[in-house]
A and B are shown apart, each in its own frame.
Chain A
Amino acid sequence: MTALNPSAPAKPGAAPPSAIRNLVRLVLSEYFVLVLCAVYALAMGPFVPELWSWEVASNILSDMMPLLIVAIGQTFVLVIAGIDLSVTAIISMAAVVGASVMSETNGYLSGGPLAVPAALAAMVALGLAIGTLNGLAVTRLNMPPFIVTLATRMFFAGSAVWFTTFHTSSSSIAGLPDSFTAFADASLLGIPQPMILAVVVTVVAHLILARSRLGRWIVAVGSNSKAATISGVPVARTIVATFAISGVCAALAAVIYESRMQTGSPITGENILLDIIGAVVIGGTSLFGGKGKVLWTVFGVLFLVILDTSMKLLGTSLFAIYIIKGGVILMAAVIDTLRHRILVTR
C-alpha cells in the first residue's frame, strides 16, 4: 500500500517506482511471452548450445506448425469460454480417414489422380462435421462443452482405431502417395510448405478474430453471453462457428502430422492435448473467455516448443518434461485466475 502513497518516504535500496512500473508493464504486455522465449533461449544457451543452431531452429519451427494450427482453433473455443477436448480425436480420425482414401496399397482412390485432393477434402470435411456436431450439442442440448467434447473425444478416438482395422492388418495405414508425404519436407521459394499453411491459417484466424464481425461476436459471447444475446448477437450460431473452426484446424494439423509420419495412425496426436490447451493459456488467452488473440497463441506455442526442445536436447526424461510443462501451464492458469479475480472485484 505504501508504494501507492506518493507522500510515503522511499525505502532505502528499493527499486525506483519507474523501474517497477516498467517491469509490471512488461509483464502485462502482450509480448511478455515472446520476451520470455528470448530470455529462456538465452539462459539455456550455455547448457544447450545446439539450441542456437540453424538445424534446431528449423526443427523448432517445423515442430511448431501442426501444434500452432490446432492451438489456434482451440483459441476460438476458449475465447467463448468453452473448451474443445475432442481435437486430438479429430486429428486421429482425420488421419486414418485421409489415409484410407489415398493409400496406394488399398485406398478407396488408390493410384487415382484425385486420391490426394479427395483425401484432403475428406479430412477437412470430417473436422468440420465433428466440430459442428460439438457446437450443436453445446447450443441445442445446452450441454457443457467439457462433457460434450470429452464424449466426442472418446467416441472418435475409439472409432479411429476401429476404422483402421477395416483397412489394414497392421496398426496404421501406410503406403501414402509420395505427392502427399513430400508436403512435410517440401518448400516453396525456400519456405517449408507446412509453414506456409500455418501462416495462412494464422493470418486468416487473426483477421476473423480481430477484424471481423464474427470475431467481435465471439469476444462478446465469451465476455457475457446474456449481454450478447440482448445486443442481438446470434450466440448459438457463434458458438457453433467456433467449434467448427476448431474442428477444421484440427483436421489441417492432421494433414501435417500425417504427411510428416508418412502413415495414417489412429493414435496420431493422442498425447498432445496438454500442449494444445497449455500453449493457448500460456499465451494469455483467458480460460474465463472474452479475451484472447491469435498472436498470443503463436507466442504460447513458440514458448512451449522451445521449452520442449531444450529439455529433449538436455536428455531430460519425459516425465520431468511433463512435470515442468505442467508446472508452467498451471502457473499461467493461476495468473489468469488472479487477473480475472482482480478485474471482477474492480
Chain B
Amino acid sequence: MRANRREFTLGALTAIAAASGWSVAAKAADNKTIAVLFDGLYSEFWVAGLQIIRDDLKKRGFGIQEAISDKDDNKQFEQVRAAIAKKVDGIIIVQTDSNAVIPAIKAANKAKIPMVHFNRPPAKTDAFSVAIQADNQKIAREAVLYSCGVAKDSGKKHKAAILIGNLGDPNAIQRRDGFDEAVKQFPDNVEVVARIPTEWDADKAFAGLTNALQANPDISFVFTSSDFLLPQIIQSLKAANKWAPVGDEKHVILTGFDGFPSAYELMKDKYMDACGVQNLFFETTLAMQAILDLQAGKPVEKLLLDPGFAITQANIEAKKDEMWGYTLWKQKNG
C-alpha cells in the first residue's frame, strides 16, 4: 500500500508537470517569450494590468511565462533566475520591495536580458533596468486640485482626511506629496485633520478612517491613495451617515486614485468628485517598447513616465474612454 501511494504521488506529479510542459512549450514556439513576474494580484488594478499585458503579448505573437511571488522577495529572485535559465527575451516585473529587487536586476544585467519594472520603480542602484511609472504626484495633484476647487465653491472650510499607502512604495509617497501640494494652495478651504497610514491594507484603512471620523465627525473631504480602498471608505462613510451624492448637504468630497471600474461607477453616480487615473494601456505599451528597444540596442531612459490624467465630474464624458476602469466596467455592464 505504501509503495503504491508513493508511486501514485510520483506519477501524478509527472503527469501534471508533463501537461504543463506541453502547453508552455507549445505557447512559446518560434516566438519571443517575456517573463511577467508580479508580486501578487491584490486588487483590480493588478489583475487588469496583468490581463492587459497578456493581451498585448498575444497581439504581438509573443509567449509569456507568468509567475506570482506572493510578496516573497526571495521567491521572486528565484523566479527571475528561472526566467534567465529559460532564456526569456525580457522580464516585466512588479516587485514587493524596491531594495530587495536589486539583486534580480543585477542577475538580469549579467544575463543581458532587459528588465522593466511595471508601475513600481526600484531603489537607486548602479544596475540598469527601466521603470515605467505613472506621474503619481502630478496626477494626484490635478485630481485633488479639482476637489479643492469644489471645496472652495461650497463657501465652507472643509476638514480633510488622507489615506496614505505603504511608505516603502514610492508611488504612495508621491501620491501623498501630490495631495499635499494641492491642499496647500487652498489653506482657507481645506484643513487636513487626519493622515491615515494604511500600508496598503484594507482593514487598516477601514479602522483608521472609522477612528478619524469618530475623532473628527465634521470631516467632509477624503482622498484615498488607491481606489482599492473604496469599499472600506464607503462602509466608514455610511456608518458615519455621510454617504451622499454631489449636491447633497451630507456629501463628502471624495477623490480617488488609480481609475478602478468601481471609481468610474462612483463618478457616474456622482458620489466621487475626481479620480487620478493611471493609463494602464499606455504603461503596457511603454513597457513592451522599452524591452524591444533594449533588445535592439537602442538607448532607453531609466524612468519612463505615464502622464496619466485626472477624471472629474466636469470632464467625465470627454475622458472616460481613456480610463481603463471604464473599459472594464463597460465590458462587464455592456
Binding site for B on A (CB under 8 A): 23-24, 27-28, 32, 36, 39-40, 43-44, 46-48, 50, 53, 55-56, 59, 63, 169-172, 174, 184, 257, 260-263, 265, 267-272, 307-320, 324, 327-328, 331, 334-335, 338-339
Say if the beta carbon of B22 comes within 8 Å of chain A. Answer: yes
Q: Are A312 and B21 in contact (CB under 8 A)?
A: no
Further 10 A-B residue pairs, CB within 8 A, beyond A40-B10, A335-B2: A47-B18, A50-B85, A172-B97, A263-B73, A267-B71, A312-B79, A316-B17, A316-B20, A319-B68, A338-B2
List chain A residues, Cβ under 8 A from B96. Answer: 267
The answer to whether residues A47 and B74 also contact, given A265-B100, A334-B5 and a CB cut-off of 8 A, is: no
Q: How far is the CA of A319 from the CA of B6 in the complex (A)?
A: 23
- Nearest chain-B residue to A331 (Cβ)? B9
Q: How far is the CA of A327 from the CA of B13 in the complex (A)?
A: 10
List chain A residues, Cβ under 8 A from B84. Answer: 55
Say if the beta carbon of B240 comes within 8 Å of chain A. Answer: no
Give the residue among A24, A265, A307 with the most B Cβ atoms within 10 A: A265
List chain A residues, Cβ under 8 A from B169. Answer: 171
List chain A residues, Cβ under 8 A from B18. Answer: 47
How far, in Å, is B139 (CB) from chain A's closest CB? 22
How far, in Å, is B179 (CB) from chain A's closest CB? 17
List chain A residues, Cβ under 8 A from B71. Answer: 267, 270-271
- Nearest chain-A residue to B84 (Cβ)? A55
Q: Are A43 and B166 in contact (CB under 8 A)?
A: no
Return 9 A-B CB contacts under 8 Å, by A number. A53-B85, A55-B84, A55-B85, A169-B167, A262-B99, A263-B100, A315-B20, A315-B64, A331-B5
The answer to whether residues A174 and B123 also contact, given A27-B6, A262-B103 and a CB cut-off of 8 A, is: yes
The A-B contact count (CB < 8 A) is: 151
Closest 8 CB pairs of A and B: A171-B168, A47-B21, A174-B99, A263-B99, A312-B82, A315-B65, A318-B68, A261-B100
Tell me what chain A mostly uses at the interface: helix, strand, loop, or mixed: helix
How far, in Å, is B207 (CB) from chain A's closest CB? 16
Number of interface residues of B (CB under 8 A): 50
How far, in Å, is A93 (CB) from chain B's closest CB? 16
- Nearest chain-A residue to B82 (Cβ)? A312
Binding site for A on B (CB under 8 A): 1-3, 5-6, 9-10, 12-14, 16-18, 20-22, 24-25, 64-75, 77-79, 81-82, 84-86, 96-100, 102-103, 123, 166-169
List chain B residues, Cβ under 8 A from A320. Answer: 16, 20
Q: Are A23 and B167 in contact (CB under 8 A)?
A: no
Q: How far is the CA of A128 from the CA of B3 in the complex (A)?
A: 40
List chain A residues, Cβ under 8 A from B86. Answer: 50, 313
How far, in Å, is B27 (CB) from chain A's closest CB? 8
List chain A residues, Cβ under 8 A from B81. Answer: 59
Q: How far is the CA of A308 from the CA of B103 in the complex (A)?
A: 20
How far, in Å, is B39 (CB) from chain A's closest CB? 10
Q: Are B100 and A314 in contact (CB under 8 A)?
A: no
List chain B residues, Cβ under 8 A from A263. Answer: 73, 97, 99-100, 102
Give the residue among A171, A268, A308 with the most B Cβ atoms within 10 A: A171
Q: Are B10 and A36 in contact (CB under 8 A)?
A: yes
Q: How far is the CA of A331 from the CA of B8 in the complex (A)?
A: 10
